[in-house]
Structures are given as structure tokens and as C-alpha cells.
Amino acid sequence: MLGIIINPKSGKRAFRAQRIYLWKLLRKRHQPFAYRVTKYAGHTIELARELAEKGYDEILVLGGDGTLSEAVNGIMRAEISAEQRAQIQLGLMPRGTGNDWGRYWGLNKQFKESLRRFFEGEGHPIDIGCLTYWRNGIAHHRYFINSVGFGVDPLTCKKAETLKYYIGSHHVNYLFGLIAAIVAHKSQHMVLNVDGKETVNDLLFTMNIGNGPFSGGGIKQNPDANPTDGVFHGMFVRKPTFRQIINALPKLYNGKLTELPFIYSLLGKEIEINCHQHMLIEADGILENFIGPCRVTCLHNALQFRV
């Protein structure tokens, strides 16, 4: 059964034409379906959980990376078996700003092509990340499909979101947001254990743990990340000098960031982050606040992505 989740606020200029085309396509295919429209932040989590628990095994998301991430959180929180969950095929018609998950799979804002690939494609087992942190001794989980970021990463998302009100939704928001975040960020000390072994003990400038290679609207922070290989690829950046920052800027989009000497490369299934200060983090561009420590775990073949 097919369930469709639509975020009308994401890429809203073309929304009417896209919706009309989709309805015509569904009628032409004689495709039975149910659809839900999001009404507020976090609503997609509720809708995706409802669809999963009602037995919908195909869920198509019309929205951006944040909407897709919320859909993943809803599916992962649904009261169904792991076997049922692993059979759910998730699809995406990109309508957001960054499109980092879609970019990996060759999906862009040519919505007719994205829909064709969903309806004619096949499911690929994919890994899902789980960020676990504690409040008052109670574990809380946030799932992510593409990446989770600390330090400058979430601050960039926060600045980029603010810029939308001034220059609209453009992928260059992330570049301008990055520059603003670099100026404003203050480093803090972190200890990282990767698969049980202490790997990093240093001041954190920024860190991105990737299930996919892209973040921030096409920045290639983890060029070798593959959402099907069962491990995370990450990069930890200790506090750089101004000259090092300038040298890094041309490498943001060409996959050569990890060649820089002040960047640690990480590879593992589970990463423990020990920091007892307040942390702002971003999971697929969605901001969260908490006080560390926390743990990031790779859930291998947790879902399927159809393309």
C-alpha cells in the first residue's frame, strides 16, 4: 500500500503544478493510495508513524531533507516489528533547499523524473543513524538518514534558516551561513570513542558523522560515506587557524576536505561523544539541544529507499 506525505511549505512555489501532475499520474497508473499533508513542525513524524502502523509499506515524501528525516523518525518509532520495518520502501520527491540525500541518489528538483524513478525503481536496503542522549536519566532517540553534525555544523543550519527570511530558500544560504557560523563559533573539548576505542581527545571546531556524503547543500564533508555499507564515515575538525579556514573553503565541494592535516577521519559503527557542556546539534538539518554525553549508532539495513 502506498502512503504519501506532503509538506506544502517546502518548495511551495511549484507545489500546485507538482500536486496536479502526481494526482494525474496516480490515476493513470490505477494506483490506490492515501495521502497526508503536514500542518506543523514535527507533524511528519506522527503521520509516518501512523502510516507504518497501518501497514503501508511504500511511503513517498514530497518535501526536503527535514521532512524526509521526520518521516524516518516516525517509521523508526512505529510499533511494528523490525522485519516489517525493514520492508518499508521510502521514496522522495525533493522539494527543499539542500537536497543532500537526494543528491547522492541522483534525484533533483525535476519532479517528474523523481516520480518516475520511484514508481519504476526498486528498493535498496539502507542504514539509518540513531542519536541517543539522556535527560534526567531517561534515554531519548533521534534518528537520521543522512548525517548528524556538531559545532559549526548546527550553527550553520541555524544561520542558514535565518537567511531564508532575507534572501529566500537557496542552497547558497548554507555557504553564507557557514561563514557566519565560523565567526560566531566557540570551540569546546570533546572525547570520542569509535567502536569502543578512544580516537579523538581535542577541542572541537566542527564534526559531521555521515551516512551519506553530502551536507549543507552539497558540501562533501564525508566523500566516502555510503548509506548501505553498515558504517559511518565522519570528520572531526580541531580548531583551525584563520589561514587554514581560507585554505579549506575551495575544498568544500570537491571531496578533498579530509586531506587537510587538521581534520581527523572517523570510521565506525558506533561513536560515543563525551562532552558535559550544552550542545547544539543538527540531525539532517533539524536542530536539537541537549547536554552530553551522547552516542551515535548505525542501524544496518533498517529501511529501504526506492529509486
pLDDT of residue 35: 95
Domain limits, the chain: 2-127, 130-300
pLDDT of residue 92: 97
pLDDT of residue 214: 94
Q: What is the mean pLDDT of residues 281-291?
A: 90
Q: What is the mean pLDDT of residues 282-288?
A: 91
- What is the chain's mean pLDDT, rounded? 91
Among 286, 281, 295, smallest CA distance to 188 is for: 281
pLDDT at 264 over 70: yes
pLDDT at 97 over 80: no
Provide the 3-class DSSP secondary structure of residue 8.
coil
Cβ–Cβ contacts within 10 Å for residue 64, how many?
25
Which distant-in-sequence residues (6+ apart) come within 8 Å of 114 by Cβ? 92, 93, 94, 102, 107, 108
CATH number of 2-127: 3.40.50.10330
Kindly indicate the confidence band of residue 277, based on its pLDDT and cuts at 50, 70 and 90. Answer: confident
pLDDT at 100 over 70: yes
CA-to-CA distance for 75 and 90, rounded, in angstroms? 10
Cell numbers for 17, please give them: 503544478
Kindly indicate the confidence band of residue 276, based on its pLDDT and cuts at 50, 70 and 90. Answer: confident
Domain 130-300: state its class.
mainly beta
Q: What is the mean pLDDT of residues 186-207?
A: 93
pLDDT of residue 272: 97
pLDDT of residue 186: 84
pLDDT of residue 137: 85
Kindly indicate the confidence band of residue 42, based on its pLDDT and cuts at 50, 70 and 90. Answer: very high
CA-to-CA distance for 307 and 304, rounded, in angstroms? 10
pLDDT of residue 12: 64
Q: Are 143 and 185 in contact (CB under 8 A)?
A: no
pLDDT of residue 218: 87
How does DSSP classify residue 141? E
| pLDDT tens track for 150-196 | 998 888 888 777 766 666 665 667 777 778 888 777 888 999 999 99
> What percentage of residues in the chain have a pLDDT greater than 70?
95
